[in-house]
Chains A and B, each alone.
Chain A
Amino acid sequence: MTLFKKRKYIFTKRLDQLFSDLYSTVRFILLFLKDGFSRPFHFKSILHQCYEIGIKSLPLITLTGFIVGMVFTKQARPSLEDFGATSWLPSLMGIATIKALGPLVTALICAGKIGSGIGAELGSMKVTEQIEAMEVSSTDPFKYLVVTRIWATTVSITILVFYCSFLMLLGSYFNVHTEESSSMLTYFQNAFSTITFLDIFALIFKSVLYGFTIGIVGCYKGYHARQGTVGVGRAANQAVVTSMFLIFIEEVLVVQVAHWIRYF
């Protein structure tokens, strides 16, 4: 093969791979939409996953949220002081948290912690034939393993976004209070003074979307792991990278759409 032909061969092969990946991803999502809303629901398993995913991420989210809020406020203060505008700090933090940082920080942490966990867990079940074992004992592994996890990530991460946003504002309040000793009620009133219904709606929409993305990417990568233990590592890694990438794209899209709606 000449170099050109070889390049062309590799290129067409890549393209082929890309399309078959895309096809199986779409099928995966459609299958979730079909199976996610039909019996049996495996509620016990969903609750268990919510515990594994949600409750066990609380310490990390608490710490990160509080520190990001506090540090952000501390760093923003000098610049605002130059204009004598420190009284705007709460509303600046409100905007920053609700419109961008809250969902984004939570989603990125969860992509790292939860996405990789799901990818590795399902990946190892796949390569050791545990998923097939489930199938031959007449349990639908897609329903039992995938659907429950996607529901659990969607619900837990939505709640975690609210929790993380609250902690960011709390961290910020901590800084404001030490500098200006204002009351918590005034702080929160100021923080939410410019937040509209659309912002809250976008926050909820983003949270659900990110939770769903992390769940579906982690499950997809794990469920399609191949080639033994190496494949498990790769599944975990790709779950994180792919979901982070998608989250950024979704962020841009949602912000753009919200912008259009606002000025419609």
Chain B
Amino acid sequence: MEKLQKHFINRDEPVISIRGLHKSFEQLDVLQGIDFTLYKGENVAILGKSGTGKSVLIKIIAGLLKPDKGEVFALGKQVDKLKRKELSDLRLRIGFSFQNSALYDGMNIYQNLAFPLVMNSKNMTRREITIAVERVAEAVGLKDKLSQMPSDLSGGQRKRIGIARTLILKPEIMLYDEPTAGLDPITSTEIIELINSVQRRYNTSSIIITHDLTCAKNTSDRAAMLHDGKFIKVGTFDELFGTNEEPLKEFYDYNFIH
């Protein structure tokens, strides 16, 4: 399960860079000055307590929310300055796996997986789409569920379909929002392996939001700790948890004592 195969990280090629990012909702200051870089081929885990704004951060990266202040670049484009068409083109290259999977519950699994292709690849034949859908369903090990509805699936299966739906467009960056939250350890392990195999297979760079240190350790090269609207520490796991600094230690103890 450990990240066995070390992959190549290109420290000269940032795929996401964020500078001085601020975001608040009415009176609530959620993000208060985030600086962060994700390099090509790298996986970074973002840790932090519930409600610190982890989901808000990646939603800003995907252009779903607008920053109040600061700059966000993804694949060389400034996300919040893009026109609708340009943003839509950029999003084809960024995969986003939602915290609660967000499967379309009016459609069956096949239609869910095919939806991004049907909408974006007008010149694909039905046969080609079917092949692509079966391939990603196979990759997440759920090829036999294609005719079922999302409500018939378990939480872990929904997560995997959610990830598969973003993989079908072959993204260069993956943003995972709590891929293992609420899952039992065995299913978590399966998701962790899925994340690693996605990286090997598609050579993606990823941001993985999680509360779960096991997941973070086994999928990521670096980790960043979000606390009170800022990254209080970014680095390898040893750098993060080798210290006795308060919020970090608390987080670590919680994960491994409970």
Q: List A residues at the B interface (Cβ < 8 Å).
A: 121, 124-125, 128-130, 132-140, 144
Contacts and interface: CB of A to CB of B under 8 A. Distances in A.
Considering the complex of A and B, which 6 residue pairs feature the smallest CB-CB distances, nearest first? A133-B102, A137-B116, A129-B102, A136-B96, A139-B119, A138-B88
16 contacts: A124-B105, A128-B105, A129-B98, A129-B102, A132-B98, A133-B165, A136-B62, A136-B94, A137-B119, A137-B120, A137-B166, A138-B91, A138-B119, A139-B115, A139-B116, A144-B119
A139 B104 contact: no
Contact of B102 (A121, A132, A139): A132
A126 B104 CA distance: 11
Interface residues of B, number: 26
A133 B104 contact: yes
B102 A137 contact: no
Contacts of B187: none
Given A130-B104, A130-B105, A132-B64, A139 B120 contact: yes
Nearest to A125: B104
B216 interface: no
A156 to B, nearest CB: 19
Contacts of A125: 104
B6 interface: no
A128 B103 CA distance: 9
Interface in B113-152: 115-116, 119-120
Contacts of B100: 128-129
B64 A135 contact: yes
B102 A140 contact: no
A164 B230 CA distance: 61
Contacts of A133: 96, 98, 102-104, 165
B169 interface: yes
Among B64, B99, B165, B169, find the residue whose CB has the most chain A CB atoms closer than 10 A. B64
A124 to B, nearest CB: 8
B150 to A, nearest CB: 10
Interface in B139-190: 165-166, 169
B18 interface: no
A192 B106 CA distance: 45
A130 B115 CA distance: 12
Given A130-B104, A132-B102, A137 B64 contact: no
B173 to A, nearest CB: 11
B228 interface: no
B89 interface: yes
Contacts of B106: 121
A139 B169 CA distance: 12
A110 to B, nearest CB: 21
A186 to B, nearest CB: 49
Among A129, A135, A137, A144, find the residue whose CB has the most chain B CB atoms closer than 10 A. A137
Interface string B22-64: 0000000000000000000000000000000000000100101
B92 interface: yes
Contacts of B89: 138
A140 B88 CA distance: 8
A193 B98 CA distance: 62
A101 to B, nearest CB: 35
A139 B94 CA distance: 13
Nearest to B59: A132
Contacts of A140: 84, 88
A124 B115 CA distance: 19
Contact of A135 (B91, B103, B169): B91
A144 B118 CA distance: 12
Contacts of B169: 137-138
A133 B96 CA distance: 8
Contacts of B96: 133, 136
B99 to A, nearest CB: 8
A254 B64 CA distance: 41
A137 B91 contact: yes
A138 B99 CA distance: 19
Contacts of A134: 104
A133 B107 CA distance: 14
A218 B96 CA distance: 28
Contacts of A144: 119
Contacts of B105: 124, 128, 130
Nearest to A137: B116
A133 B106 CA distance: 14
A137 B72 CA distance: 19
Contacts of B102: 128-130, 132-133
A12 B94 CA distance: 42
Contacts of A136: 62, 64, 91, 94-96, 166
Contacts of B84: 140
